[in-house]
Amino acid sequence: MHLVDDDGSLEVNSRKNSRRATISQSLRNMKAAEVSSTIKENAVVVDIVEGRGRVTGLLHIVSEDAYAFATVTIFMFDIMGNMATELRTGSKSLRAIMGQLRSKGVGVEGENQKETLRVLCYDTTSWVSDAFQPAVKAFNADPENSFQMMVDFTTERGRLGVNMIAQRAAGFDRVDTKAARAYGMTVARVPAYSPYAVAEMAIALLMAVNRKTPKASSRVKMANFSLDAGLLGVDIHGKTVGVMGTGKIGQILCNIILGFGAKLICYDVFQNEEVKKAGGVYVTKDGIFAQSDILFFMMPLLPATRHTLNMDVLPKLKKGMMLINTSRGGLVDTTVLLQGLRTGVISGVGMDVYENEQEYFFQDWSAKSIQDPDLTALLGEPGVVMTAHQAFFTKEAVNKITQTTMENLRDFKLGKREFDHPNNCIPKDN
Ligand SMILES: NC(=O)c1ccc[n+]([C@@H]2O[C@H](COP(=O)([O-])OP(=O)(O)OC[C@H]3O[C@@H](n4cnc5c(N)ncnc54)[C@H](O)[C@@H]3O)[C@@H](O)[C@H]2O)c1
């Protein structure tokens, strides 16, 4: 089988040998009659670029052991660049069309004839493909499943014929639910994966901020075994610890905090009876700001919670308090946080999320210049311990994310659409 690659070269995979050749070589190898009949029977117009340099890309589809190639009909010779682009587009479309043919059991001998759900996995990093590939394999091997899944991993954007968004996260503040509804798309999420993972990470951040473990560890690795005031922390035991948002994660966090022997105060729009039974005391919003030596943000990002830490709140905080935020960056006005750190109102902050993280998190920026002055300022502050949205990242949570996502896809395929989907996250009044 021959496939046009992204770089325009032709990949040749026959059963007996494997080699690469240029398109022109391969076309030359074809008999004229074969070329002509392939074009007549199998040509598919993949793209037409209208306008000054009109370009048409044709794909010629194959059966096993035959040739597949893309041709471009070009009407203006001064746009060779477009042609190269078109070939690249063609090669991607070719793979997609080949995949579709396979998924319908067309033209490929001995292939599983089960119907296939095609899934495009966006914005993927290696942990995503590492976790999903075995899960997809297991799903496809399970005779109980009446269809199979084919998952492509991509970082490209666009609707591309997508009818469902299967969020791998609980929060869906980054989904344009109005647009999704207008397109009749189903949007499902993973409502809970491991509340323990996030609660435990919040504690890890607290201990890192309080006991300066990142700094201490890097000093020891440089053979500096001295102690100085820069490493001095406080006992959590006996401190007043505030938790804003006592839902699934917040409740687990409350139990851990009580284990330290701290005084637990809470704020939520709904009081959690379990938290109260365990020893948490609900106070007013101003009360939690004024009394907390340590304050955890555990509520979702909503219009009502956006910039919970703001200029009005800063003077209400207990001087020298520590703030821990594993929920969403938008809960904190970064300018106010920086001011709090510089004036000593906030002695330290543990943050797994950052207000403008989209541009940076989940990518390696170590060799590039960061253009966001607030982010640069935070990274330079000694009281800041920042991680890049990894609070969820435990084996247990990843397994749960993978499993629930597969179930969400299955339910969609079995007819649970839009509001009927069990993990739908488009509000009814959207
Ligand atoms: N960093 C990560 O990797 C990560 C992973 C999972 C979840 N999260 C974040 O953690 C948040 C909490 O998750 P959860 O599973 O506990 O959610 P949850 O829905 O179980 O709990 C949220 C709690 O916040 C409360 N709340 C709502 N509005 C409030 C307000 N105005 N003031 C105070 N409390 C309010 C709710 O009543 C609820 O008790 C999620 O919304 C998400 O943003 C982060």
Count of the separate structural domains present in the chain: 3
Residue 12 pLDDT greater than 50, yes or no:
no
Please work out whether the CB of residue 191 comes within 6 Å of at least one atom of ligand 1. Answer: no
Going along 260-357, which residue ranges are E strands? 263-267, 281-282, 294-297, 321-325, 346-351
**Would 173 be classed as within a structural domain?**
yes
* 151/296 same-domain check: no
Do the Cβ atoms of 118 and 150 come closer than 8 Å? yes
Active site residue 407: no
- Any bridge partners for residue 73, and if so which? 56
Looking at residues 315-331, what average pLDDT do you find?
98
Split at pLDDT 50, 70, 90, the class of 100 is low
Q: Mean pLDDT lowest for which of 141-145, 168-172, 255-259, 348-352?
A: 168-172
Looking at residues 341-356, what average pLDDT do you find?
98
Whole-angstrom distance, CA of residue 64 vs CA of residue 13: 10
CATH label of the domain that carries residue 131: 3.40.50.720
Residue 41 pLDDT greater than 80, yes or no:
no
* Active-site position among 86, 200, 355, 357: 357
Whole-angstrom distance, CA of residue 140 vs CA of residue 363: 31
- The pLDDT value given to residue 203: 98
Q: What are phi and psi of 167, to 5 degrees?
A: -65, 135
Residue 5 pLDDT greater than 70, yes or no:
no
Please work out whether the CB of residue 357 comes within 6 Å of at least one atom of ligand 1. Answer: no
Do the Cβ atoms of 35 and 27 come closer than 8 Å? yes
Active site residue 357: yes
Q: Mean pLDDT lowest for which of 19-23, 27-31, 134-138, 360-364?
A: 19-23
* 280/377 same-domain check: yes
Please work out whether the CB of residue 304 comes within 6 Å of at least one atom of ligand 1. Answer: yes
Domain ranges, residue 50: 2-90
Which pLDDT tens digit goes with each residue over 283-296?
Answer: 999 999 999 999 99
- The pLDDT value given to residue 321: 98
* 51/161 same-domain check: no
Do the Cβ atoms of 245 and 297 come closer than 8 Å? yes
Please work out whether the CB of residue 307 comes within 6 Å of at least one atom of ligand 1. Answer: no
Q: How far is the CA of 192 from the centre of ligand 1 (A)?
A: 11
- The pLDDT value given to residue 385: 98
Which pLDDT tens digit goes with each residue over 293-310?
Answer: 999 999 999 999 999 999
- Residues contacting 76, CB < 8 A, separation 6+: 52, 53, 54
Whole-angstrom distance, CA of residue 187 vs CA of residue 176: 10
Residue 408 pLDDT greater than 80, yes or no:
yes
Q: Which one, of 261, 371, 244, lies nearest residue 298 by Cα?
A: 244
* 289/341 same-domain check: yes
Q: How far is the CA of 44 from the centre of ligand 1 (A)?
A: 49
Which pLDDT tens digit goes with each residue over 354-370?
Answer: 999 989 998 899 999 99
* 246/303 same-domain check: yes
Beta strand 294-297 with 346-351 is unpaired
Whole-angstrom distance, CA of residue 262 vs CA of residue 273: 19
- Any bridge partners for residue 243, and if so which? 266, 296
Do the Cβ atoms of 330 and 307 come closer than 8 Å? yes
Answer with the one of 55, 90, 125 that is the final residue of a domain. Answer: 90
* 254/317 same-domain check: yes
3-state secondary structure of 402: helix
Please work out whether the CB of residue 300 comes within 6 Å of at least one atom of ligand 1. Answer: yes
Looking at residues 37-55, what average pLDDT do you find?
51
Whole-angstrom distance, CA of residue 361 vs CA of residue 115: 37
Residue 102 pLDDT greater than 70, yes or no:
no
Looking at residues 4-11, what average pLDDT do you find?
43
* 20/163 same-domain check: no
- The pLDDT value given to residue 23: 43
Residue 109 pLDDT greater than 50, yes or no:
no
Looking at residues 171-182, what average pLDDT do you find?
82
**Would 110 be classed as within a structural domain?**
no
Residue 245 pLDDT greater than 90, yes or no:
yes
Give the ligand 1 atom nearest the CA of 352: 1
- The pLDDT value given to residue 174: 75
What residue owns the CA closest to ligand 1's atom 18?
Answer: 247
Q: Which residue has the higher pLDDT, 338 or 165?
A: 338
- Residues contacting 274, CB < 8 A, separation 6+: 251
- Helix or strand run (H / E) with residue 421: none
- The pLDDT value given to residue 323: 98
- The pLDDT value given to residue 184: 84
Looking at residues 383-411, what average pLDDT do you find?
96
Please work out whether the CB of residue 308 comes within 6 Å of at least one atom of ligand 1. Answer: no
Whole-angstrom distance, CA of residue 155 vs CA of residue 165: 14
Residue 315 pLDDT greater than 60, yes or no:
yes
Split at pLDDT 50, 70, 90, the class of 132 is confident
* 141/66 same-domain check: no
- The pLDDT value given to residue 1: 31
* 283/337 same-domain check: yes
Give the ligand 1 atom nearest the CA of 195: 15
- The pLDDT value given to residue 173: 75
Q: Mean pLDDT lowest for which of 2-6, 214-218, 364-368?
A: 2-6
Active site residue 11: no
Looking at residues 114-132, what average pLDDT do you find?
79
Whole-angstrom distance, CA of residue 178 vs CA of residue 196: 32
Please work out whether the CB of residue 353 comes within 6 Å of at least one atom of ligand 1. Answer: yes
What residue owns the CA closest to ligand 1's atom 33?
Answer: 268
